[in-house]
Amino acid sequence: MAEHGYDAKRLEDLLYRRSGLLGVSGIASDMRTLRRSGEPAAAHAIELFVYRIVREIGSLAAALGGIDALVFTAGIGENDPATRAEVVRGCAWLGFALDPALNEAGNGQRRISAAGTRPVLVVPTDEERMIARYTSAAVKQKGEQA
Q: Report pLDDT digits (tens) over 57-96.
A: 999 999 999 999 999 998 888 889 999 999 999 999 999 9
Residue 134 falls inside a structural domain: yes
If one counts the domains in the chain, the total is 1
Greater model confidence, 107 or 38: 38
- The pLDDT of residue 108 is 67
Residue 133 falls inside a structural domain: yes
Residue 139 falls inside a structural domain: yes
Q: How far apart are CA 45 and CA 7, in angstroms?
A: 27
Residue 61 falls inside a structural domain: no
The CATH number covering residue 140 comes to: 3.30.420.40
Q: How far apart are CA 21 and CA 30, in angstroms?
A: 7
Residue 25 falls inside a structural domain: no
- The pLDDT of residue 146 is 67
Range of the domain at 83: 67-145
